[in-house]
């Protein structure tokens, strides 16, 4: 998942959500007087958020399974630290914030991924956060694909990418078939990936957060960047005392 060409294309062409989410997190941390400390970036991808947060003075730990993404991240955000691991297994350090931006919990990156795994991970995050700490993330929910199925094509001088996205309401599954063409001088290199996601009920996610002990609110946008159909953000906070 997210091999060399797709990782590069995602970094160059699809980083707006990560940038917007980092700005939201910074505003809330600084507004609470948390001007330093550790931020854990789950599913950190190419390090877009990590770069912003580390340059703002935070100690950032980025965790991802994609070696190609982490290679870009290490070059883009030299002040941050990155490890290749599953977000379901990694021991979390004490932190002022934990983020998981870009439908991270929905991805079926192994057989354990799903609502039960999210509950366990939310508990681990709650324990790792300092009082008043923030858990910022987003999830794909039913109704994510409109129309269903949906196709999209994007082209630049260096690469082209084609998506076909379909949603199965019966199994709460979203499937993205992705084909990329990376320019290599006068030739193009073709590669393809299939990503499967489990769609979560936002009401269920909110209930889990409250059960764990968070105070939370749903977000439909990161500042001016609207998340769109079936894509909900959550800003959860561990009580200060």
Q: How far apart are CA 26 and CA 31, in angstroms?
A: 8
Q: Considering the chain, what is the average pLDDT of its residues? A: 96
Tell me: do 59 and 92 sit in the same domain. yes
29 shares its domain with 56:
yes
Count structural domains, the chain. Answer: 2
3-state SS, residue 57 = coil
In the chain, what percentage of residues exceed pLDDT 90?
A: 95
Instruction: Pick the range with the lowest mean pLDDT from 28-37, 103-112, 224-233.
Output: 103-112
Is 190 in the same domain as 109?
Answer: no
Kindly report the CATH number assigned to the domain that includes residue 218.
Answer: 3.40.50.150
Q: Are 35 and 110 in a shared domain?
A: yes
Could you tell me if 28 and 116 lie in one domain? yes
The pLDDT value given to residue 222:
98
Residue 219, pLDDT > 90, answer: yes
Residue 87 and residue 171 in one domain: no
pLDDT digits (tens, 9 = 90+) for 14-28: 999 999 999 999 999
Question: What value does the mean pLDDT take over residues 212-219?
Answer: 98
User: Do 92 and 190 share a domain, yes or no?
Assistant: no
Of 119, 177, 132, the C-alpha closest to 153 is 177
Distances (CA, A) of 116 to 57, 74, 101, 121, 122: 34, 31, 19, 9, 10
Q: Distance of CA 128 to CAs 94, 97, 135, Å? A: 5, 9, 10
Q: What is the pLDDT of residue 114?
A: 82
Residues 182-206 pLDDT 10s: 999 889 999 999 999 999 999 999 9
CATH number of the domain enclosing 163: 2.20.25.110
Same domain, 231 and 172: no
Reported as a single tens digit per residue, the pLDDT across 1-52 is: 899 999 999 999 999 999 999 999 999 999 999 999 999 999 999 999 999 9
Residues 90 and 105 in one domain: yes
Domain shared by 67 and 181, yes or no? no
What is the pLDDT at residue 112? 81
Q: Which domain range does residue 181 map to? A: 150-197
Residue 100: pLDDT over 90: yes
The answer to whether residues 189 and 220 belong to one domain is: no
Residues 65 and 135 grouped into a single domain: yes
Percentage above 70 pLDDT, the chain? 100
């Amino acid at each position: 998942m997210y091999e060399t060409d797709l990782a590069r294309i995602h970094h160059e062409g699809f980083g707006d959500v990560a940038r917007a989410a980092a700005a939201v997190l910074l505003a809330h941390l600084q507004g609470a007087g948390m001007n330093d400390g550790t931020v854990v970036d789950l599913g950190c991808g190419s390090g877009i958020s990590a770069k912003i947060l580390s340059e703002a003075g935070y100690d950032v730990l980025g965790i991802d399974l994609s070696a190609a993404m982490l290679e870009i991240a290490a070059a883009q955000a030299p002040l941050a630290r990155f490890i290749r691991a599953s977000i379901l297994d990694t021991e979390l350090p004490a932190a002022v914030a934990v983020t998981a931006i870009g439908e991270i919990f929905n991805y079926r990156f192994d057989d354990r991924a799903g609502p039960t795994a999210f509950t366990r991970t939310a508990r681990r995050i709650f324990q790792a956060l300092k009082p008043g700490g923030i858990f910022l993330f987003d999830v794909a929910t039913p109704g994510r694909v409109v129309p269903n199925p949906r196709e999209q094509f994007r082209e630049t001088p260096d690469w082209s990418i084609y998506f076909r996205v379909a949603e199965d309401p019966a199994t709460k599954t979203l499937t993205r078939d992705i084909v990329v063409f990376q320019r290599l001088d006068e030739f193009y290199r073709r590669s393809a990936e299939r990503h499967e996601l489990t769609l979560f009920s936002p009401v269920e996610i909110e209930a889990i957060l409250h059960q764990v002990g968070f105070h939370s609110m749903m977000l439909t946008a990161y500042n001016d960047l609207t998340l769109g159909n079936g894509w909900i953000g959550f800003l959860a906070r561990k009580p200060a005392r």
